Chains A and B, each alone.
Chain A
Amino acid sequence: MSQLLVTGILLGGLYALISMGLNLIFGVLRIVNFAHGEFIMVSMYLAYWAYYYYKIDPYISAFVIAPLTFLFFMTVAKPFIVKLADSSHLGQVFITFGIGIVLQNLALMLFSADYRSVDTVYSKMQIALGEIQFSLARMVMFLLSLVFTVALYYYLKKSYMGKTIRATMQNRTVAMLMGIDTQKVYVFTFALGAAITAFAGGLLLPIFYVYPTIGFSFALIAFIVVILGGLGSIPGTLIGGFIIGLTEALSGYFISASMKQLVYFCIFILILVLRPAGLFGQRGTEELGVK
């Protein structure tokens, strides 16, 4: 039983880390990003490529891919983010969905459909604490999710940029009146979200394997985690991740593996109906930027 709980919590940390970026893009900016899964997929492929051709460990390449992603979105992709921010949410769904399809099939063209994974020194290492065993790689993801949560939380709360972001989220017009360049804020926040997602992707590679269509399942979970935890709430994403991870582990064990997805979809609908702001979101904030 305790093994089950540990498994669930580690899984939760993993889910939290991959959802963190979406929390910035969807939670804060309210941009419905249906290409979130493909962002993860692309960074996994990049990490794979770095390992396969240059023998660079994914844990190291993650630290390179993330800033590169950030720069990419701040420069090349900038006009595109602006266009995205200006579209209705249905437009966003389809623009990002279209990008997702393009990315998926580019990956297919470049890497073929084969399932790729890496076998690093640590990817199979186990740690045992008494009766309980867990994989080192998952533990690393879990710890990093904690680190990121704390770091992002304080960043948003205390730093100037963080306050600027929050101000823009609350009321775009007033922020503009206060002299904030809202466009820059949007682009920055999006780029940051994308970079965090890319980082998570790199870390995922030793644990999973990548193939062109791996994005969808991750994306769905990320949306659930973000909404469950509360849009815009960083600690919320962490807690949301834990809840989903534990739910999955427990329902998979006590009910059946085929039903566990059903369970978290039902939780998802319940939260949406009962408390769309999520567990830690401020009540009423879900309406921001929507209507």
Chain B
Amino acid sequence: MTMQRSLKREFSLVRIVLLVLPMLLALIIPNAFFRDIVILLMLWSTAASAWNLLGGFAGQLSIGHTAFFGIGAYTSTLLYINFSVSPWIGMFAGALLAALIGVVLGSITFPLKGPFFSLSTLAFAEIVRIISISWSDLTKGSRGIVIKYTPGFDKFIFDSPVAYILIAWVFMIAVYCVAVYFNNSRLGFYLMAYRESEDAARALGINTVTVRLKAVAISAGLTAMLGTFYAQYILFIDPESVFIVDNSLQIVLLSLVGGIGTTIGPIIGGYIMVPLGQFLRSALGDAVPGFHLVIYGLCMLLIIMYLPGGLVSLLQRRSFGGSRLKRPGRRRDEHGAVGNS
């Protein structure tokens, strides 16, 4: 596909509508609860998108991304609380720090394959979480940090949700554009080549290590910036909320449900799962405790078992996501025949 044609697809009418609609609805409908959902939806979709740069395009399936999220949240918050540094600047500081840590982590763990890589990212995220609790002189540990509600642009605190809606939306579009770039650039092609077959990629002279390190730096940095946004929106952070494994799993889940390795997939995943979770909570949260989560778990299961390529695979005949979700050794060609192991 030529660059022009694929860019047209990435920014087709349908996609533009998808990307803009929630934001517009949130601006028009002055309902605080609805706006809150939309903001969270955009936040998590963007986080999933950022994860997808590493997990989907490069195939490095990390389940420890909450570490970067939390590093971003804590860096900007601590700089703000201790040195009155504007969270806007702190956000970039956090991104830089996360990118650096990501690169170090990547250089250690990239040689690991499949589930081993994933488990190592989980172990790493847990290490970060434990440190955040123990190093309480720095982070205030489990007590958490409350950010005083003093609205001001430079303080990145707003009294109107409109500002948060717009900022979250800008983040979402920006990360989407990065994903589009990945999908249509040399860097992206190299990553996808690595993902499909490391040996072949290396045989072609691609430096698989460098490209993956670039990917992790970008992915980590963007995730960290979202951590800062979260901190400025909720105005309270503690290790339990920003370093917990549930966050890591949530963003991977969104990408899986929407379509891993695609540009719009993670965003669609967020659009579906975040409102679904909230809807179940609102409708069933009043009944027997736990019921709404049972239903949520079942939905998650059904989608993953029967739509391994994610919802995006419904769009495309050649399910890129789908083939990757099957065991790599048993790829089916277009006629459904099984390839060699």
Q: CB atoms of A and B under 8 A apart anywhere in the complex?
A: yes
Known: A272-B109, A290-B115. A90 touches B127 (CB 8 A): no
Contact B127 A266 (CB under 8 A): yes
Cross-interface CB contact of B290 among A100, A109, A261, A262, cutoff 8 Å: A109
**Interface 9-mer from A7-15, A91-99, A147-155:** A91-99
**Interface 9-mer from B71-79, B130-138, B146-154:** B130-138
**Which A-chain residue is minimally distant from B255 (CB atoms)?**
A90
- CB proximity of B146 to chain A, nearest CB, Å: 23
Contact B123 A90 (CB under 8 A): no
Known: A88-B324, A88-B327, A88-B328. A95 touches B301 (CB 8 A): yes
**Interface 9-mer from B84-92, B208-216, B217-225, B292-300:** B292-300
Known: A86-B326, A90-B118, A172-B341. A98 touches B297 (CB 8 A): yes
Interface size on B, residues (CB 8 A): 50
- CB proximity of B71 to chain A, nearest CB, Å: 17
Contact A269 B288 (CB under 8 A): no
- How far, in whole Å, are A147 and B305 apart by their CA atoms in the complex? 38
Contact B304 A268 (CB under 8 A): no
Cross-interface CB contact of A109 among B114, B289, B296, cutoff 8 Å: B289
Q: Can you list, as one digit per residue, whether each of B302-327 has a CB less than 8 Å from chain A (1) or not (0)?
A: 00110010000000000000001111
Main secondary structure of the interface of A (DSSP, over half): helix
Contact A99 B124 (CB under 8 A): no
Contact A30 B127 (CB under 8 A): no
Please name all residues of chain A whose beta carbon is closer than 8 Å to the beta carbon of B260 when the two chains form the complex: 90
A178 within 8 A of partner (CB): no
Contact A88 B325 (CB under 8 A): yes
B111 within 8 A of partner (CB): yes
A2 within 8 A of partner (CB): no
Contact A102 B298 (CB under 8 A): yes
- How far, in whole Å, are A104 and B252 apart by their CA atoms in the complex? 20
Known: A88-B328, A109-B291, A276-B116. A97 touches B61 (CB 8 A): no
Known: A30-B115, A86-B327. A98 touches B304 (CB 8 A): yes
Contact A87 B308 (CB under 8 A): yes
Please name all residues of chain A whose beta carbon is closer than 8 Å to the beta carbon of B112 when the two chains form the complex: 272-273, 276
Contact A98 B300 (CB under 8 A): yes
Known: A89-B115, A273-B111. A94 touches B253 (CB 8 A): yes
**Which B-chain residue is minimally distant from A109 (CB atoms)?**
B290
Contact A95 B288 (CB under 8 A): no
B119 within 8 A of partner (CB): yes
A131 within 8 A of partner (CB): no
A83 within 8 A of partner (CB): yes
B251 within 8 A of partner (CB): no
- How far, in whole Å, are A113 and B115 apart by their CA atoms in the complex? 32
Contact B130 A258 (CB under 8 A): yes
Contact A262 B130 (CB under 8 A): yes
- CB proximity of B125 to chain A, nearest CB, Å: 10
- CB proximity of B315 to chain A, nearest CB, Å: 20
A265 within 8 A of partner (CB): yes
Q: Can you list, as one digit per residue, whether each of B47-81 has a CB less than 8 Å from chain A (1) or not (0)?
A: 00000000000000101000000000000000000
- How far, in whole Å, are A87 and B61 apart by their CA atoms in the complex? 15
Known: A94-B304, A269-B124. A105 touches B116 (CB 8 A): no
Cross-interface CB contact of A106 among B113, B123, B294, B304, cutoff 8 Å: B294
- How far, in whole Å, are A272 and B120 apart by their CA atoms in the complex? 7
- How far, in whole Å, are A212 and B297 apart by their CA atoms in the complex? 15
Contact B134 A259 (CB under 8 A): yes
Contact B305 A173 (CB under 8 A): no
- How far, in whole Å, are A194 and B115 apart by their CA atoms in the complex? 20
Contact A102 B301 (CB under 8 A): yes
Q: Can you list, as one digit per residue, whether each of A107-130 has a CB less than 8 Å from chain B (1) or not (0)?
A: 011001100000000000000000
Please name all residues of chain B whose beta carbon is closer than 8 Å to the beta carbon of A87 when the two chains form the complex: 304-305, 308, 325-327
Known: A95-B301, A105-B291. A173 touches B308 (CB 8 A): no
Contact B294 A102 (CB under 8 A): yes
By Cβ-Cβ distance, the 3 closest A-B pairs, closest first, are A108-B290, A101-B297, A105-B290
A to B CB contacts below 8 Å, 29 in the list: A26-B115, A32-B115, A88-B308, A90-B325, A91-B305, A93-B118, A97-B249, A98-B301, A100-B297, A101-B293, A108-B289, A109-B288, A109-B289, A172-B341, A220-B122, A259-B134, A261-B126, A262-B127, A262-B134, A265-B123, A266-B127, A268-B120, A269-B124, A272-B112, A272-B120, A273-B120, A276-B113, A276-B116, A290-B115
Q: Which residues of B are in contact with A by a Cβ distance under 8 Å?
A: 61, 63, 108-109, 111-116, 118-120, 122-124, 126-127, 130-131, 133-134, 198, 245, 249, 252-253, 256, 260, 288-291, 293-294, 296-298, 300-301, 304-305, 308, 324-328, 330, 341
